[in-house]
Amino acid sequence: MAATLYIDGAWKQASDGGAHDVHSPHDQRVVATVSQATESDVLDAITAARTSFDSGVFTSWSFAERSALVSKIADLLERDLKVIAKKESDDTGKRIIEAEYDIADVVATFRHFAALGVKEHDRKVDVGLAHVSSRIVHEPLGVASLIGPWNYPLLQIAWKVAPALVAGCSFIVKPSELTPQSAIALMHLIEEAGTPKGVANLILGPGSVVGTSLISDPRIDMVSFTGGLNTGQTIMKAAVATVKRLALELGGKNPHIIFADADVDAAIDNAVTAAFLHSGQVCSAGTRLIVERSIHDRVVNEIVRRAANIRLGGPEDLAAETGPLISKSHLEGVTRYVEKGIAEGATLLIGGKRSEMPEHADGWYFLPTVLDNCTTKMFCVQEESFGPVMTVEVFDTEAEAIALGNDTVFGLSGGLWSNDVAKAARVASALRHGTIWVNDFGPYRPQAEWGGYKQSGIGRELGEHGLSEYLEIKHIWTNNAPSKSGWFSDDKRGED
């Protein structure tokens, strides 16, 4: 077995020799065997990151030099795009073409932050005093734990690694134990590009084993995590003792509102994609359809027809349109989710179970599912399944549509369809979600910030703010004509 932990500039096996098999969700074959770190390995990685940061080996680089490094990594990613996409497709079960799109987005992310890094970050402050120089400077935050999910393994890691490198931070990457291969590949490229020893470190293993120190060790200055709400809450509690900076993206239950005055055919088509792309394993999936009552039957009947025709298949199936769920336990969770929705009164229109096709027998395939007659009081409306399950609610007025769209503890994203420009603007403004799509659903660009309101998380990734998360802001005041303050008297009359 190859050494797959990267600690202090060297590739290592776990200190106890432990390893973990990675299985394809498509057919359960072993696609990789990787090292499984121990707590001792984690502490070594934290020590390496802390030592490198405190030494100044990377913080001494200018923004321009660090941006050039990130640009070089982007070039290497582009060179190896197909190889890395194959690894990610093996781990996730998603189609090769989807994985290639994802790695292309990774390249775009690195290029965005490389370009952002060379912009002027510091500024002068006019304090109204000719003899005073007042400057705001931006400095690297410190050591960061970067913890990624399994649904978009390298893309979500890239959203963290690229700005951390531009900012000058040292870090430890911890990908999901289910999907580690693309993170390993990235670390090889970070090494090839010439990143100083100890700046970038990679730890593999389940959070239950390797996660505690990554979120609680006092030598860690920041935790950036993408994943579930419960884990995010655990991280927040652990960060209290040392008041770490947090960047948390914790998912969502994203409303997708269709008004009767919309381009209904376009809305239907996008609704199918929003709910069933990557089998719903998308934090911003539009799985909560909210449709105006007068067009309910037209919209829902067509969505059900379209859902019935979705072709499920594995990475090499060129005719497939979406793939399997990530694991057996996740499939079982989605199954229970649908069963609970039906028990609460939702009407199952299609799907609701594992695929029974012979070619899917060895994989975790779940049929595209539509639950109608839902209300915001139902578990299936308030909680995300992270599977291909669409719930349907109806509304009669604009105000009701807004109220329904905001009736959630989450606030990551939402979409709305209307040809009434003024109404669309009102609704977009009123919805309490971090991204709102109008007459569209799903696209993003690295140049625009990403993150959520409410329990969808803290902070922002991408855009300009995505870099700011990894920077400290310092004010430097320089008096070029020093003199006594004169605040307290220096009269010596009271002395003996």
**How sure is the predictor about 120, in pLDDT bands with cuts at 50, 70 and 90?**
confident
Closest Cα partner for 175 from 48, 332, 330, 32?
32
Selected catalytic residue, list 98, 169, 283, 321: 283
Q: What are the tens digits of pLDDT across the range 216-254?
A: 999 999 999 999 999 999 999 999 999 999 999 998 999
pLDDT at residue 43 greater than cutoff 90: yes
Counting every residue, how long is the chain?
A: 496
* DSSP per residue, 176-228: -TTS-HHHHHHHHHHHHTTPPTTTEEE--S-HHHHHHHHHH-TT--EEEEES-
Q: What are the tens digits of pLDDT across the range 278-301?
A: 999 999 999 999 999 999 999 999
Cα-trace Rg, the chain:
25
Q: CA–CA separation, 129 vs 479, rounded Å?
A: 9
**How sure is the predictor about 121, in pLDDT bands with cuts at 50, 70 and 90?**
confident
The predicted model gives 166-172 an average pLDDT of 98
Closest Cα partner for 312 from 354, 274, 266?
354
Selected catalytic residue, list 88, 98, 177, 249: 249
- pLDDT for the residue 421: 98
Question: Is 283 noted as a catalytic residue in this protein?
Answer: yes
Question: Is 332 noted as a catalytic residue in this protein?
Answer: no
Q: What are the tens digits of pLDDT across the range 132-159?
A: 999 999 999 999 999 999 999 999 999 9
pTM > 0.75: yes or no? yes
| Residue 104 burial (10 A CB sphere; 0-12, 13-18, 19+) | middle
